[in-house]
Structure 1
Amino acid sequence: MGFDFNPGSIAIVGASSDLTRISGLPLHYLDKHGYAGAVYPVNPNRDEIAGRRCYPSIEAVPETPDLAMVMLPASLVTGIVADCLAVGVEDVIVVSSGFSETGTEEGERWEREIERLAEEHDATVIGPNSQGMINFSTGVTACFTPALKRDELLVGPVSFVTQSGAFGGALTTLLQEAGVGLNKWVATGNEAAVGALTFVDQLARDETTDVVVGYVEGFEDARQLVELKRTDVGIDLPFVVLRVGTSERGRAAASSHTGKIAGESAVYDAVLREHGVVAVDDIDLLVEVTQLILETGVEELPHGRLGVISTSGGAGVYIADRADDLGLELATLSARTRERIGHHLPGYGSATNPVDTTAAVLNSTDAFEECLTALLEDDGVDTLLFQLTNVSGERAAELADTLCRVKDEYEKPVVVCWTGGLEKVESLDRYRASGVPVFENPARCLKSIAAVGAFVAARPALHASKDHPARVTVPPLDRDRPKKLTEVDAKELLADYGIETPMERYVTSVSEAAAAADEIGYPVVVKIVSSAIDHKNRIGGVRLGMGDVDAVREAAAELLNVGGAVDEGVGLTVQRQVEFEHELGLGLTIDDDFGPVLMLGRGGTEIETIDDVTFRTVPVSRAQAGQMLEELTTVPVESFTEGQRSAVVDAVTGLSKLFMDNRWITEADVNPLVVTADGAVAVDALASGYEPTDDGG
């Protein structure tokens, strides 16, 4: 059933008679905003507070409250929470601070006790260190945020989940000042017993919530997000997040490239993008993106290739530059579209994208309409952006009427950026009535389009991945029994899952190496093989381009000597040298929050120096694997043949399947995964982890 955002009665344990204090403000706000339910102040030192009878204990309250707020010193909280749950209260908000956020053993112990009590009673206990909860539509203001000082609360379809009460309250004020109506609001505090994603999941199923906004520092059980996004309601929910705390956590030393690269921020960014979460890093952008979603609706959000029509050539150039910075694609207009538009432009205009109509076209409604229509009818244009520069009054209103009328005839999103100009009210009302969002700053307009584009782009792959398990369990592993595969064994395992590997032979002597090279054919690669050596290049453990037997003999002798200094049992592989066009890196690691995640990125020796990687939660579908490839920015993916793309996707999904069958693995690397003329080949690999415990399978 979840948390009850509409309690019929509220007990405030530790209520103050001073309604300006934190412990008195909830009473003040409940009265101010018209809460109609019963309110029970609990304080053994008072007989009456704010005209209400005050009770000495929760047991003395004449009915079991639907919600209890606990506002007492930390040392008293666990006992009071236990009392509330014992009398049958199902929802509790612990406002009190002084728990794990203090870093003391005592505070952490009290917080664990709150978690235990909530689990024992199957109750929802928010906090500790929470500012409370608000239901804007019913006046439930069980909260002390200054955002409630407003005389009138704007009610609407946006709900807010925040891990910071104070900053979340400030963002709420900004949203309200911008005219955004809110529905439900909850500050999760330290999340001892219930985390932010539990509320996001509940609000996704709330018929009165269309958008969820969040202030997020991190998720305690991040796989809840994956579970939500494996459902239709989750896929269709716009979740707008202001995420902070993006610096990397201290991580234990990792043997694989993937483990080193998979810092908290890199994984979070990629997984949020994978699941269509609209992540922003700017509070004004949070407001603007939320407004954009409300104004257009989920099915008409701007996305994809932009067709830009501008009344200013300079503004068009600025838009092109900023779009490139953000990775937004400007549509390539067809010859027919350029011809249609060019017919109406003066010689100093431009029919290429961005289209520069110049001010001359604005004097002809027919010409402006024809240019709009031509862009909207071009199959290469997914979204139309109209940049209006310094146009005012009556002429601006005529343009608004024309654009809205034409827009209604097509099913493509239209966005207006109106920079400068006066007397805008009439036109803004016209745009708003037609569901056309209006921005003033072109850069912020494009940032908003880029942000919501992640939500639009993710939906098809999420629908295609609904049948994949959302929660992947890893068996208990014995950290005293490490397990590591050599390159030879790792590549044999890869081959079992359809990942192509080059022809090679494992040898332990110079003579065996020479014989293997003659059998394979030249040129060959000779490499050290040892479970004690993770990265052979760092000790000079690879010899490329060995073109004859003498070169192989010399390389083998040198490498056996180098490797023998590290590992007495060192061996070699003699491997057919693969001709390739590009190097990728593929890997797997166990993220602290999201569990098993798979990485794809720029490979070879540049994997740790060039920041061009992306991640997906395991298991990975073919649709998601294809998206990963498209997200790489330094690899010329657009030049890949269909066969090359398919081979890379096969490798990604193959490694995903491999892990699902071998969950003892905690880190794996396929680097490089080389893209050949007709496929993809894993020319090096490693896999490590731990043996399962005897009782954990």
Structure 2
Amino acid sequence: MNNPVSAVDFAQALFSPRAIALVGASGNLQKNTARPMRFMRKHGFQGKIYPINRTQSEIMGEPAYADLADLPGPIDHAFVMVASDLVLPLIDSCAKAGAKVITIYSDGFGETGPEGMAAQDALIARAKQLGVRIIGPNSIGLADLHSGMILSVNAAFETEKLVTGGLSLVSQSGSMMGSLMARANARGFGFAKSVSVGNESDVTVGEVIDALVDDAQTKVILLFLETIRDSPTLARALERARAHNKPVIAYKIGRSEQGDALAQSHTGALAGNDVAVDAFLRAHGVLRVRNLETLFEIAPLAQRYLGKTAPHPHPARVAVITTTGGGAATVVDNLGLMGMVAVAPPPAFVAQMAQRGMKIRETTIIDLTLAATSAQYKDLLEQLLRTDWCDAVLSVVGSSAQFHPELAVKPLVESDKPDTKPLAVFLAPEAMASLGLLQQAGIPAFRTPESCADALSVFFQPRISAPPTLPAISWPASCPQQGLLTEFEAAQVFKTLGVNTAQAQLVSSEKPAHSVPYPVVVKVSSRDIPHKTEAGGVKVGIHNTADFEAAVQEIGRNAKAYAPQARIDGFLVQAMESRLIELILGYRNDPLVGPTIILGAGGITAELSPDFAIRRAPVTLEQAHAMIDEVRVTKLIKGFRGLPKGDCEALAQAVVAFSKLAAVTGVNVLEAEINPLFVQSNKVLAVDGLVRLGD
């Protein structure tokens, strides 16, 4: 086995290869396999290019080689464009020729089904033995636009001149890579690198991001995602990007069905994979946008202001100035939908501007349609950017952006703009020239009110830190190590973590005597009946021994009728507890992104009212308090309309303790749930729960 490729050699071979082999290159200019050669000649790549073709001795005026063994010198990177059944033997040839990275355009592998996946697995196994890295298969290729190194068949590179800049794109969709670049280029956004990861069988999105963090030409990293693979590597790369102040912006489509069989608790129903992915991305500093165009339009906002703005209240406050009242209203409406608020200038600011010769009103939108010169517009803008009553300034420009940019666009460019308060611009008309001026000045400018509001809401979403590292927690020796635990066993796990549980005792079917003070709740105990209420396996408000014995008999009959094959361990006797509110506290080891924790409205209405907060697990006490604030129903325990206050500190500590399931060793905790979790005035208690373990 050869030595694996180092990170430095990987990055060099990936983006700065000195010599490239185009395996399967064609001299027929109508074929896709002719494009990489043609693109690199067109865009001035200075490295060596070796076309490989068994039937041609010359391609586009360059010598062609029948075999990689015939090359006059070593290569760093090979781009393979042959039929799928020919790819595996070529891995050895590429490695012998010196390739450290092989990008495979060929399809017919894992994306086609089990047979293709077997072929892909064999290919990757051989590559690992040889110590080479694989991008793809089914990759449309990659590019370094600054050097003209275009290892891609994407038609986007047909352009006469590449638009270079500081954006780098990593895409799980080959076709969307070109589409996004074309849309962004039309707006004047230039690119440094682009990579289509294809089937992501070896080199992952995280590894490409890691290489881009060290790339001097890359200022902002854009991601087009369909799913998450290798979340640990991705998390480490995203943390490196955050540490190096390189914004990462993502657009993710679809909801993965991977692991849906695990979603058997309320937690899984409430928090599907998409919200888990969202929690993962936020935990690692990614700005996830909702609109496709926002993916690149938000880049100047992130590059210029991210990490430099002062802490702000929630919701974020936006001062809006405009030369088109209707256009501004469309953005303000969208701001409200996305959790922000347009704020009117306070009287002191109105008076301040009056002293400076400009009359404005205390209205949500500062409308200057007919009332301001270019100089006054510039002065107002500069004053707004230095106030403390708003967190951002939004300029909405009307028809002047199209026909008279000197009136409202020129002041935006020429004004003194600190990097501590974001300025964003929405141009109501189609005004590409003005958009270009703003882009050149590094001012975030948007074509639609939706993308403008999307960008601001994502920028101002609360920052979340990565999950803390905890010491390992041992599994209770008394509990099983696989399968579904009973409620009694689950309570033992919760106690180990530090979660308070209601007083309870497990009694046998033969001698159902207990020492729990009345009144009590009686429940069937069986790992085969996870949802006891549906089985008629719960009786509440038991006040004496006679009622207790009758309840045990009735629950036993109900359980037998509901699940005749179920094994009954006995009956759980639990002290009756009061509560101010019921919550659900859930944990899930998501198959895509790993451990997540959810806090939400609990009880039997949990699925009817999707009111929840989710984070990667484990969480800190500060993060737990933030989760509590996000759940709307918790207002009922914070003095809402004079209602009694609950113990929010104990609730936060319970969330932290429960999230420590992520640190448990010795077992595979797939999911766990406390539902309901009772919040009282001076404590928090788990009164029902389940834990599901994997093999």
2:529 is the counterpart of 1:533? yes
Q: State the partner residue of 1:694.
A: none
Cα shift readout 1:514-537 (whole Å, capped 9, x = no counterpart): 86334xxx4x43333332221122
The CA deviation at 1:135 is 0.6
Pick the aligned partner of 1:7 from 3, 8, 17. 17
The CA deviation at 1:402 is 6.5
Q: State the partner residue of 1:269.
A: 278
The CA deviation at 1:270 is 2.5
CA distance in 1, matches of 2:293, 2:592: 28
The CA deviation at 1:643 is 7.4
2:181 is the counterpart of 1:172? yes
Pick the aligned partner of 1:113 from 107, 114, 122. 122
The CA deviation at 1:434 is 6.2
Q: State the partner residue of 2:48.
A: 38
2:208 is the counterpart of 1:199? yes
CA distance in 2, matches of 1:388, 1:594: 42
Pick the aligned partner of 2:653 from 637, 650, 654. 650
CA distance in 2, matches of 1:341, 1:550: 80
Note the 1:132-211 alignment, pairs <5 A: 132-211=141-220
Return closer, same or farther for 1:309/1:690 CA change in 2, 3 Å cut-off.
Answer: closer
The CA deviation at 1:561 is 3.5
Cα shift readout 1:1-56 (whole Å, capped 9, x = no counterpart): 22321111111111111133111111111110011111111112111111111111
Structure 1 gap segments, 5+ residues each: 692-697
Note the 1:186-335 alignment, pairs <5 A: 186-231=195-240, 233=242, 236-249=245-258, 251-252=260-261, 254-294=263-303, 296=305, 299=308, 305-311=316-322, 318-330=330-342
Return closer, same or farther for 1:97/1:392 CA change in 2, 3 Å cut-off.
Answer: closer
219-228 or 539-548: which moved more?
A: 539-548
CA distance in 2, matches of 1:275, 1:588: 19
CA distance in 1, matches of 2:211, 2:636: 39
CA distance in 2, matches of 1:109, 1:394: 60
282-291 or 638-647: which moved more?
A: 638-647
The CA deviation at 1:668 is 0.9
Return closer, same or farther for 1:365/1:584 CA change in 2, 3 Å cut-off.
Answer: farther
CA distance in 2, matches of 1:672, 1:191: 41
Contact 2:537 2:556 in 1 (8 A): no
The CA deviation at 1:157 is 1.0
The CA deviation at 1:60 is 0.6
CA distance in 2, matches of 1:219, 1:275: 13
Note the 1:36-75 alignment, pairs <5 A: 36-75=46-85
Return closer, same or farther for 1:280/1:357 CA change in 2, 3 Å cut-off.
Answer: closer
Return closer, same or farther for 1:41/1:314 CA change in 2, 3 Å cut-off.
Answer: closer
Pick the aligned partner of 2:451 from 436, 444, 454. 444
CA distance in 2, matches of 1:427, 1:143: 30
Cα shift readout 1:668-692 (whole Å, capped 9, x = no counterpart): 111122332344322211213156x
The CA deviation at 1:632 is 3.4
Note the 1:349-364 alignment, pairs <5 A: 351=362, 354-357=364-367, 359=369, 362=372
Contact 2:474 2:664 in 1 (8 A): no
The CA deviation at 1:79 is 0.3
Cα shift readout 1:322-373 (whole Å, capped 9, x = no counterpart): 22321225569777668868999999x8626x24456575369779957974
Return closer, same or farther for 1:633/1:315 CA change in 2, 3 Å cut-off.
Answer: farther
Contact 1:240 1:279 in 2 (8 A): yes
CA distance in 2, matches of 1:589, 1:281: 25
Aligned residue for 1:647, secondary structure, equals helix
Contact 2:205 2:234 in 1 (8 A): no
Percent of matched pairs sharing the same residue: 27
Pick the aligned partner of 1:99 from 105, 109, 112. 109
2:601 is the counterpart of 1:602? yes
Return closer, same or farther for 1:435/1:62 CA change in 2, 3 Å cut-off.
Answer: closer
The CA deviation at 1:622 is 3.0
Letter in structure 1 aligned against 2:522 = V
Q: State the partner residue of 2:5.
A: none
Contact 1:289 1:451 in 2 (8 A): no
Cα shift readout 1:233-272 (whole Å, capped 9, x = no counterpart): 4573322222123253463255432244443223212222
TM-score by length of 1: 0.84
Letter in structure 1 aligned against 2:598 = M
- Count the aligned residue pairs: 669
Q: State the partner residue of 1:417.
A: 426
Cα shift readout 1:264-321 (whole Å, capped 9, x = no counterpart): 2232122223323222343322232235435656635998612333446666654443
Return closer, same or farther for 1:21/1:295 CA change in 2, 3 Å cut-off.
Answer: farther
Contact 1:494 1:658 in 2 (8 A): no
CA distance in 2, matches of 1:63, 1:367: 63
Letter in structure 2 aligned against 1:666 = L
CA distance in 2, matches of 1:371, 1:677: 49
Aligned residue for 1:236, secondary structure, equals coil
Contact 1:40 1:53 in 2 (8 A): yes
Note the 1:414-563 alignment, pairs <5 A: 414-420=423-429, 429=437, 435-454=442-461, 457-458=462-463, 461-462=465-466, 465=467, 468=469, 482-508=482-508, 516-518=516-518, 522=519, 524-546=520-542, 554-563=550-559
The CA deviation at 1:659 is 4.0
25-34 or 586-595: which moved more?
A: 586-595
Return closer, same or farther for 1:110/1:234 CA change in 2, 3 Å cut-off.
Answer: farther
The CA deviation at 1:635 is 4.9
CA distance in 1, matches of 2:349, 2:33: 65
Aligned residue for 2:124, secondary structure, equals helix
Aligned residue for 1:44, secondary structure, equals coil
506-515 or 115-124: which moved more?
A: 506-515
Q: State the partner residue of 1:673.
A: 677
Pick the aligned partner of 1:385 from 369, 391, 394. 394
Aligned residue for 2:227, secondary structure, equals coil
Contact 2:537 2:558 in 1 (8 A): yes
CA distance in 1, matches of 2:652, 2:184: 42
CA distance in 2, matches of 1:343, 1:541: 75
Return closer, same or farther for 1:419/1:158 CA change in 2, 3 Å cut-off.
Answer: same
Contact 2:84 2:109 in 1 (8 A): yes
Contact 2:586 2:672 in 1 (8 A): yes
Aligned residue for 2:228, secondary structure, equals coil
Cα shift readout 1:581-611 (whole Å, capped 9, x = no counterpart): x322112222222223222222221223333
Cα shift readout 1:159-198 (whole Å, capped 9, x = no counterpart): 1111222221111111111111111111111222212221
Aligned residue for 1:23, secondary structure, equals helix
CA distance in 1, matches of 2:346, 2:538: 50
504-513 or 215-224: which moved more?
A: 504-513
566-575 or 128-137: which moved more?
A: 566-575
Return closer, same or farther for 1:299/1:190 CA change in 2, 3 Å cut-off.
Answer: same
Contact 1:514 1:552 in 2 (8 A): no
CA distance in 1, matches of 2:113, 2:403: 63
115-124 or 563-572: which moved more?
A: 563-572
Return closer, same or farther for 1:271/1:338 CA change in 2, 3 Å cut-off.
Answer: farther
CA distance in 2, matches of 1:563, 1:374: 68
CA distance in 1, matches of 2:522, 2:348: 57
